[in-house]
Amino acid sequence: MTKALTPAGERILTVASALFYERGIRAVGVDLIADEAGTTKKTLYDRFGSKDGLVMRYLERRFERWREFVLAYLEPIPTGPERVLSIYDALASWMRDNHRGCGFVNAFAEYGGTDHPALEVIRSEKDWTRALFVQLAEDAGLPAPDELGLKLSLIHEGAVVMSTAGARADAVDVARSIASTLVNGIVSGTLQSGRSAGSAPSPRSTFPLT
């Protein structure tokens, strides 16, 4: 379990998170973070051990907030194909306040090809999002949920990258349309074969919703 931070630690993490996201992790030094947080480098090192330790807490906190945001968004939506597609709506809402795109993709651009511990958090976030698609597809009674979840997560990640690197403001809307065509095609095929989408098997109890 992650150790709770002191008020000074929270202030440092809040400042560092904003700077890392806006300017890039490697472009931001501990001197700037300490100055902006109104503290000292000694306090920063006391709370986080190193800049790498602070980077890890930044990514872990961002992952936690993404999970909470998506699950809260999905909570009122009934189980079914539309709930699967609602992850794209959650993404569109999230990105209105996150104009530099995915903090995990951005971090990977800086640390990919290294043995930095941040890579584990980055991959965990991607795995979680894919697993969420799989679980919702299974809950909706859609066939081959593992395969479908992978496809939907790839469409999702493509939208994240294209909305920033590709400068496509409509990337998430286009991704949702593609995903909707895929899901609705599966639903139509399922109904024609005599199986009603929505009569799902029991959800996987091991899925990490929280």
The stretch 174-188 carries a mean pLDDT of 93
In a domain, 197, yes or no: no
Dihedral of alpha carbons 185, 187, 191, 193, sign: positive
71-121 pLDDT, tens digit each: 999 999 999 999 999 999 999 999 888 888 899 999 999 999 999 999 999
In a domain, 134, yes or no: yes
pLDDT for residue 2: 64
Q: Could you write out the three-class secondary structure of 58-125?
A: HHHHHHHHHHHHHHHHHCCCCCCHHHHHHHHHHHHHHHCCCCCCCHHHHHHHHHCCCCCCHHHHHHHH
The stretch 117-133 carries a mean pLDDT of 95
Question: Does 91 share its domain with 44?
Answer: no
Q: How far apart are the first and last CA of the chain?
A: 13
Per the structure, how many domains does the chain have?
2
Q: What is the distance between the alpha carbons of residues 76 and 70, in angstroms, rounded to a whole number?
A: 11
The stretch 54-70 carries a mean pLDDT of 96
CB atoms inside a 10 Å sphere around CB 138: 22
| pLDDT class of 169 with cuts at 50, 70, 90 | confident
The overall average pLDDT reported for the chain is: 89
pLDDT for residue 127: 96
Q: Which domain holds residue 15?
A: 1-49
Lowest mean pLDDT, pick from 1-5, 63-67, 71-75, 80-84 = 1-5
Question: Does 147 share its domain with 110?
Answer: yes
Share of the chain above pLDDT 70, in %: 89
In a domain, 208, yes or no: no
Q: What CATH number has the domain bearing residue 30?
A: 1.10.10.60
Question: Does 102 share its domain with 184?
Answer: yes
Question: Does 145 share its domain with 88?
Answer: yes
Question: Does 70 share its domain with 173?
Answer: yes
194, pLDDT greater than 70 = no
The stretch 7-34 carries a mean pLDDT of 95
207, pLDDT greater than 60 = no
Dihedral of alpha carbons 72, 78, 79, 83, sign: negative
Question: Does 27 share its domain with 76?
Answer: no
Q: What is the distance between the alpha carbons of residues 67 and 187, in angstroms, rounded to a whole number?
A: 27
Question: Does 99 share its domain with 149?
Answer: yes
